Structure 1
Amino acid sequence: MTGPDQKLPAGQGRAEIDAFLRKVAATPARREGERRGRLIFALDATQSREAAWDRACRLQGEMFVETAALGGLDLQLVFYRGFSECKSTGWVSDTAELARLMGKVRCRAGETQLGRVLIHAEAEAGRGKVDALVFVGDAFEESLDRICALAGKLALRGVPAFLFHEGHDPLAARAFREIARLTRGAYCPFDASSPGQLRDLLAAVAVYAAGGRAALEDLGRRRGAGVTALIGRMGGG
């Protein structure tokens, strides 16, 4: 786990976020009139993530709030923790239900199981279209070769993976970057001391997937200068 005094260097963090937003901007959005978007929201719930889990519980509502006017979003929660425990919920369409489900989970010590998340996402995409996989974690303790093979299968299903990296563990960074590259998603580290940063990035992925760039520009007008600045950097703008 990254210690509380270890933060991303300011320049590196900003550059990574800019690159992440450009990748989001390049992801094709659904056309108006199509079905609701479907997003898998996966989190590391091992012991080192306890404080982060509480933050995620508070932030998750942004994805529903900001996409409601765009036709809505169906979201499935996936998490791993403890000894070989990886679970998923059904698809939910409102923030209260997701908050209830997340509130029942308690973090437990254990090793990472990102491979099982990818296997689940690929299987879910085989049953019906999945627009994106979002993963939030801070560590990686698995075989990179195996993870890359699983990411390749997910890519064949057309599911981009957006990986949010808390801290700066180099092994996790390498694995998360490879998954993002193979699935044509994006990788972005974030500073755990700035929850607003993660909130805006989660909202950006959800809003863009649901309504495209026009919807993001509207989000910027409603949320103020901070979001507008993020949008201005998307797509190289």
Structure 2
Amino acid sequence: MRKGSSEVAQPQGGRSSSSDVDAFLRKVAQAPGAATGGAKGRLIFAMDATASRQPSWDKACHIQGEMFRETSALGGLEIQLVFYRGFGECKASSWIANSNELLRRMTSVSCYAGHTQIGKVLKRAIDETRKKKVGALVFVGDAVEEDIDHLGHLAGELGVLGVPCFMFHEGFDPIAANAFQQIARLSGGAYCSFDASSAKQLRDLLAAVAVYAAGGRRALADYSRKAGGSVLQLTHQVK
């Protein structure tokens, strides 16, 4: 049964406005837990792989290389791919430091119908960071079919551990929006909605979070100046 279905304002025109993006990036800049000192950043990249997600999964396969490309000069990035689909299936890869290997793993995944399993994703992030520090969790999805109080508890644990959750919401389902916003808030992360036509925006935002995880706030400010567009305004906000 879905809980927490309070109404959430939807961006006009069916996509994120520039102010929504700016607010998201400002939250990224303020988040705790980024890697510093030349160590490889560690980022959990989690996606809903249920049936409705296939187009977005294919899109993410094409843009994931940007995360590695933008962090190579910062000491690099290790990513763990986590996805759920079908009847209770939730899988996690080993830690990957190579864009080609991540692409190989992602393109081998097919999306199957099933319920959301976000709680398992959050629990995975808790377990991983207790072994070795995780800089951030990125989640991309469009629905929530779980107890929001349980998800909030897990998000709060991640907040205590210093692992911010950056929740990318495709579409404008108000139940999912409310849940994703709660998870972001309780973990110290950020929420941003996007639509199926905003591939460049998603690419830039994913890269921004990866840069943050690998190099911290200063690296994120440098990236925002280079990226321009919706990311450029972050420079003054970080200052």
TM-score, length of structure 2 as denominator length? 0.89
In structure 2, the gaps of 5 or more residues are: 1-9
Give the alignment of 1:60-71 within 5 angstroms.
Answer: 60-71=64-75
Which stretch shifts more, 75-84 or 212-221?
Answer: 212-221
Q: Residue 154 of structure 1 aligns to a residue in which SS? A: helix
Residues 53-105 of structure 1, C-alpha deviations (whole Å, 9 max, x = no match): 00000011111000001100000000000010000000000100000000110
2:143 is the alignment partner of 1:139: yes
State the Cα deviation string for residues 117-155 of structure 1 (Å, max 9, x = none): 011111111111000000000011111111111112222
Deviations 1:186-223 (A, max 9, x none): 01111220100000000111112222344334434544
2:126 maps to a residue whose letter is: E
Q: Work out the percentage of aligned pairs sharing the same amino acid.
A: 57
Secondary structure of 2:202 counterpart: helix
1:84 aligns with 88
For 2:225 and 2:17, the matched residues in 1 are separated by 24
Superposition pairs of residues 12-161 of structure 1, within 5 angstroms:
13-28=17-32, 29-33=34-38, 35-161=39-165
Structure 1 residues 40 and 150, CA gap change in structure 2 (3 angstroms): same
Give the root-mean-square deviation of aligned CA atoms: 1.9
Distance 1:12 1:87, change over 3 A: closer
Q: How does 1:179-198 map to 2 (within 5 A)?
A: 179-198=183-202
Count of paired positions:
228
- Cα separation, 1, equivalents of 2:102 and 2:16: 33
Cross-structure match for 2:229: 226
Relative to 1, partners in 2 of residues 1:110 and 1:228: Cα closer, same or farther, differing over 3 Å? closer
Unmatched runs of 5 consecutive residues or more in structure 1: 1-6
Amino acid at match of 1:32: G
Shift of 1:8: 4.2
- Identify if the C-alpha distance between structure 1 residues 153 and 219 changes in structure 2 by more than 3 Å, giving closer, same or farther: closer
TM-score, normalisation: structure 1? 0.89
Answer yes or no: is the 8 Å Cα contact 2:41–2:215 preserved in 1: no
Q: Secondary structure of the residue that 1:106 maps to in structure 2?
A: coil
